[in-house]
Amino acid sequence: RTSADALISLAKVLKKYTIRREIYYSCRDVAKKMKDMSEDSSYSDIINHADSIFNEKINMYESGDSKPEHIAEEMEFLIEERGNNPIEEFDLVGPYEKLHEIYGSLLRPGNISVLVARSGVGKTAFCMNFATKIALMHNVPILHFDNGEMSKEELIMRQTAALAKVPMHLLETGKWRQHSEETVKKVREVWSKIKDLKFYYYNVGGMSSDEMINTLRRFYYSTIGRGNPLVFSFDYIKPSSKMEKGQSEWQQIGEMVDKFKTCIHKEILHDGLPVIPMITSVQSNRQGITNNRAAENVVDDESIVSLSDRITQYCSHLFILRKKTTDEIVDEGEHFGTHKLINLKSRHLGKDIAGALEPVRVGDQLRRNFINFEFKNFDIEERGDLRDI
């Protein structure tokens, strides 16, 4: 007879042998595919075929059988097991307390959080600030794709200005050393803060959605490693110059969002579960303009989301970020910040559900809740919500 321990040990050996054999076969299939591919195949097609053949087999072994699963059979175990081992928070806790309490984590693996804003309002600043603070809080790496509008040096200057809380022009000109001892101290205190910061930048301007996803996939497996966490920041959703003949902008954007969602939700997995959350932004259409408008004339609904309805369809959280109008700053008070973040869609919520679902009574009116933010020198501070006002 074989003991239980010996049987388990033997099973582990056989499992590893099987996986090695299947990976060997996958490599052989990749080699055969590379030989058979047409000389006219694009760079993107070559990489995509190799990735698909190799990683599909590994994902199958990690997630088990690729067939429909009977969830009722696991329901009792999952809920009771979570009850036996309760957790304080679900997924990455964000840097803004009120935002996290109301809407929960904006960085759930396999999910996309989207910020809608007009040009120049601060969508890049918000996403960069959010991702950088998340990386520092949780020691998780960030992969930041820039869609051709912000250089690496510009991002470095912005990040340093936000972390040091010093004017960016002092950093850009190099005059921060001559400004004051306090400025020099603030800047140099940043170096110890970012010692373990893992923030990777890649300029994807002009790349197709397939090329971007291939880059994301290769970076994850080669640099981060299978099963390890990664936050994917994409600045921002807009049409690519590589548009197929007869394809409209909204079709291209819809396809791009669909492919990003598929990649982080179904393709890059560990133990059958996604590991990468995505935060991104999109420019609002002209209905989202707030300059020289009173608050009563500002549009704060889904109609301002530009380019494609699939952005709203595929995201888990959707927010409008806009500057406060002059009359809003007067009515609400300057200490409640310069910007407001208004939720349009939430697939998940935090522990303060009322803050998300229940309207706030202001005088004789009921209004949708929002969160206040102060934007100053690329640093961003939360200033409560409408209930606090």
The predicted-structure confidence for 263-282, as pLDDT tens digits, reads as follows 999 999 988 899 999 999 99
Using CA atoms, how far apart are residues 158 and 155, in angstroms rounded to an integer? Answer: 5
Residue 73 in this model has a pLDDT that exceeds 70: yes
Residue 63 in this model has a pLDDT that exceeds 60: no
* Nearest-5° Cα angle at 129, 316 to 177: 170
Using CA atoms, how far apart are residues 354 and 377, in angstroms rounded to an integer? Answer: 33
Using CA atoms, how far apart are residues 310 and 300, in angstroms rounded to an integer? Answer: 19
Instruction: Report pTM.
Output: 0.83
Q: Which of 61-65, 74-78, 338-342 has the lowest mean pLDDT?
A: 61-65
pLDDT on residue 14: 82
Residue 296 in this model has a pLDDT that exceeds 80: yes
User: Taking a C-beta distance cutoff of 8 angstroms, is the pair 162, 129 a contact?
Assistant: yes
Q: Which of 195-209, 286-300, 359-373 has the lowest mean pLDDT?
A: 286-300
Q: How many CB atoms lie within 10 A of CB 327?
A: 12
pLDDT tens, 124-165?
Answer: 999 999 999 999 999 999 999 999 888 999 999 999 999 999
Residue 243 in this model has a pLDDT that exceeds 70: no
pLDDT on residue 371: 98
| Bridge partners (DSSP) listed for residue 381 | 374
| Spatial CB neighbours of 376, under 8 Å, sequence gap ≥ 6 | 338
Using CA atoms, how far apart are residues 121 and 115, in angstroms rounded to an integer? Answer: 11
User: Taking a C-beta distance cutoff of 8 angstroms, is the pair 272, 64 a contact?
Assistant: yes
Residue 33 in this model has a pLDDT that exceeds 80: yes
- Give the pLDDT band of residue 44 (cuts 50, 70, 90): low
Crossing angle between the packed helical segments 249-262 and 209-219, to the nearest 10 degrees: 20
**Residue with the larger pLDDT of the pair 6 and 105:** 105
- Give the pLDDT band of residue 190 (cuts 50, 70, 90): very high
